[in-house]
Amino acid sequence: MTPQRHTRPTSARRTATPAHRHTTAGGRRPRIAVIGGSLTGPTLALLLLQAGFDRVAVYEAAPTAAPRGGGLIGLEHLALDTLHRLDIDQSEFVAHNSETVRQITLRHRQHTGETQRVYPGRNTTWTLLHDALTARIPDGLLRPSHRVTGLDTARQQPALRFADGHTEPADLVVFADGRTSTGRSLLDPGRQLRYAGYVAHRGHAPAPHAPLRDFLRLEPGPGCQYNVAPIPGALDWTLYLNASATEYAQRFGAMPERRVFALPKHVSPAARAHVNQHAARLLTAEHAATVHATTERMALPVMDINPPTRMVWPLGQGYALLLGDALAPVRPHTARGANNGIEQAAGLVAALTQHRSYGADLDAALHSWQQRHLPDAVAAVHQGPALGARLGLGITGVPAAVSG
């Protein structure tokens, strides 16, 4: 009897597969448009190129992708392995390889207790990781100053509409354009960002004479948390403090839903004074001095969103997808934003590779990808408010911890 593996049944099945939603039009290589040039978008593009997809373009709205969120990013092992498989050595984006997180309890500005744990990953910064990714993108693939304003179906295929009026067709449109995602507003408009009631004040201070190696988390009490970690040539710090939406607008010039990133130019003298006063009242003298020494600061209003119920939208014979923060922005405490995006990108390329190389049904492959990754995204959305509540952050009426 002839072994089954020699009959190549997959070829017959591929011939019989209907074109609608199961194969790319005409059997050609798909045109894949990636929207967003921050971290998830370039990661996805490099994974696609590595897998042999050669009709890829990355569209970025800004002239250059700027680190609007700023600061430190924690990458877990699955994300690190994805970068390793792209031949990006950790030395390019990890300046300090400590895995230790020291959680310190403060009362009346004094150290009253400490616990340590091992973080299953490494810390990097947006700038280091973005530079490592974009240095590998071939010329012409990343297209800055391309702001997407609409998504149409032309001749049964998705077509991107840009701010300058021109359109471009695609077979697969992947929105990885961050927490203010245009893609989410087009595909899932019922899920709007809403302010969680507290602000992540951020800055880079000069590195101390005695170098810091580990990630420190200081908890002075309800209504405050302070994180600090080493980055190249500096310390990256975040001070979480409660604030009403009106207070945020007074300090940063617009309501949180309008100004989801407060750049240095938006940080008012009142905002600086507010942070300095709380640092002096709540932190040890050493850490208060770190905050006070920081000249350039940013702020991030912490936002929530309803959990997503899907990641994939069929459009004629093509598809549109949401990844990373475009799908589900999460609170910074979860440390899942970049991890979710990179893991989803790797899973998507695996699904597309099975379709292209072995004739796997594309509709089934994409929905299986969604079934695998959607629960993790939903869990991270739920985790953020639970962590905030434990710290007394975002709860009306809970002031920052009282210190003597």
Q: pLDDT for 228-237, tens place per residue? A: 999 888 899 9
pLDDT of 24 strictly over 80: no
Q: What is the edge-to-edge ordering of all strands in the sheet holding 224-231?
A: 110-118, 100-107, 215-221, 224-231, 234-242, 194-206, 297-304
Q: Which residues contact 157 (CB under 8 A, 6 or more apart)?
A: 25, 169, 170, 171, 315, 316, 317, 318
pLDDT of 89 strictly over 60: yes
Say what the pLDDT of residue 63 is: 86
pLDDT of 21 strictly over 50: no
Q: pLDDT for 34-77, tens place per residue? A: 999 999 999 999 999 999 999 999 999 998 755 554 578 999 99
Q: pLDDT for 360-404, tens place per residue? A: 999 999 999 999 999 999 999 999 999 999 999 997 556 676 443
Say what the pLDDT of residue 70 is: 53
Say what the pLDDT of residue 401 is: 62
Q: pLDDT for 248-299, tens place per residue? A: 999 999 999 999 999 999 999 999 999 999 999 999 999 999 999 999 999 9
pLDDT of 103 strictly over 60: yes
Question: Higher confidence at residue 122 or residue 69?
Answer: 122
Q: Of the candidates 39, 252, 212, 214, which has an alpha carbon nearest to the alpha carbon of residue 137?
A: 39
In which band, very low, low, confident or very high, does the pLDDT at 211 lie, cut at 50, 70 and 90?
Answer: confident
Q: Are 230 and 299 in contact (CB under 8 A)?
A: no
Averaged pLDDT of the chain: 89
Torsion of CA 81, 93, 142, 370, to 10 degrees: 30
In which band, very low, low, confident or very high, does the pLDDT at 195 lie, cut at 50, 70 and 90?
Answer: very high
Coil, strand or helix: which one is 266? Answer: helix
Ramachandran category for residue 219: left, alpha or beta (phi over 0 → left; psi -120 to 50 → alpha): beta
In which band, very low, low, confident or very high, does the pLDDT at 108 lie, cut at 50, 70 and 90?
Answer: confident
Q: Alpha-carbon distance 320 to 174, whole Å?
A: 6
- Give me the amino acid identity at 87: D
Say what the pLDDT of residue 241 is: 97
pLDDT of 182 strictly over 70: yes
Say what the pLDDT of residue 208 is: 78
Q: pLDDT for 196-210, tens place per residue? A: 999 999 999 988 767
Q: How many CA atoms lie within 13 A of 74 on its CB side?
A: 19
Q: Alpha-carbon distance 234 to 206, whole Å?
A: 5
Q: pLDDT for 309-346, tens place per residue? A: 999 999 999 999 999 999 999 999 999 999 999 999 99
pLDDT of 157 strictly over 90: no
In which band, very low, low, confident or very high, does the pLDDT at 7 lie, cut at 50, 70 and 90?
Answer: very low
- Measure CA 179 to chain center: 8
**What residues are paired with 58 via a beta bridge?**
34, 142
Domains recognised in the chain with CATH numbers: 22-88+126-192+306-388 (3.50.50.60), 98-122+195-304 (3.30.9.60)
